Amino acid sequence: MNHSLRLPVTDQSEAGAARRRVAAWAKEYALPAELAGSVALVVTELATNLALHTSGGVLLLRRISAPEQRGVEVLSLDKGPGVANFSECLRDGFSTAGTAGTGLGAVRRASHIFEVHSQMGLGTAILSEVWGKPPAKPKGGFYEGAASVEMAGEEACGDAWSTLSPQPGRARLLVADGLGHGEFAATASRKAVEVFQKSPALSLFDLLETMHGAMRSTRGAAVAVAEIDPQKGKLYYAAVGNIAAMIVHGDKTTRLMSQNGTVGVQYRKFQQLTYDWPAGGSLVMQSDGIKVDWQLSRYAGLAARHPGLMAGVLYRDFHRPNDDATVVVLRERA
């Protein structure tokens, strides 16, 4: 599954705990030693930065992949005062806490992709992608960012998401929210992902029908599936339950329609809807663990940044602590 490892950091002791937890996490997933070492460095420096320079924040880690390559995405999220000129913070020797001032510069050097969104009064989001070997720069296609975190106190996340390319140039995205929380909810959402991955040739209507049958033995889930065809300038969408989805393009947000019901339990009739897809747009899909009352125009320049930064900021500012929370941002490569 594509779930995120959440590491809260408010002081130096938690920065140390984050480093130790990441070492165990890297071992659990058998990450290569060089990759694990680079991730440990990035986490240590970002956690220390949160502890020393903010009132606290969170790190989110998720595994990423490319053909024959493995990597890790690290998000550092805080609601601190923000930084007007973040480039100064990356300069070795710059510090506001009496340290050597090499932390964020070291993170940038260890990262194959490094991006920041910082806004006065709102906080800072830092994205670092670390790879064992840098993958070849892809031409065209889509890329995504995501945050998917279980409810506090639960070991399993009842949400799940997945992407695939059903045909060259097209992209599909699924988000599922299992009914309730914990392992039984996770079983339902995992079944939705399993059917999604095994059935790329099915229409969205038939895909939901197949999921419904496969998920009858589970407690069911809210499920949304979307397919983007940039060549035709169209997005096809089918959703049952309280998954929210939006097409974002500049300052314009188009909200997509869902129907009542629970896949695997009951529904009236699956419907596939068609929307215009704008070149350069982003598709945002989220479980109800993320509030829907956000306005991207509040965040200067965020719509043009890495999808991971957008997903991280939306998670940071709009997740509900009493629910599993998932937000995925899918965008066509320029």
Lowest mean pLDDT among 49-53, 86-90, 137-141: 86-90
Residue 142 has pLDDT above 60, yes or no: yes
Task: Evaluate whether the domain defined by 142-332 bears CATH number 3.40.50.2000.
Answer: no
Lowest mean pLDDT among 64-73, 85-94, 257-266: 85-94
Q: Look at residue 45 in the predicted model and tell me its pLDDT.
A: 95
Kindly give the interhelix angle for 33-53 and 12-28, rounded to the nearest 10 degrees: 160
Specify the pTM: 0.92
Is residue 68 classed exposed, middle or buried when 0-12, 13-18 and 19+ CB atoms within 10 A define those classes? Answer: exposed
Kindly give the interhelix angle for 33-53 and 103-110, rounded to the nearest 10 degrees: 150
Domain boundaries for CATH 3.30.565.10 within the chain: 5-131
| 36, 86 Cβ separation under 8 angstroms | no
Domain boundaries for CATH 3.60.40.10 within the chain: 142-332
Task: Evaluate whether the domain defined by 5-131 bears CATH number 3.30.565.10.
Answer: yes
State pLDDT tens for residues 90-135.
555 444 444 433 578 999 999 999 999 999 999 999 999 999 988 7
Q: What is the mean pLDDT of the chain?
A: 91
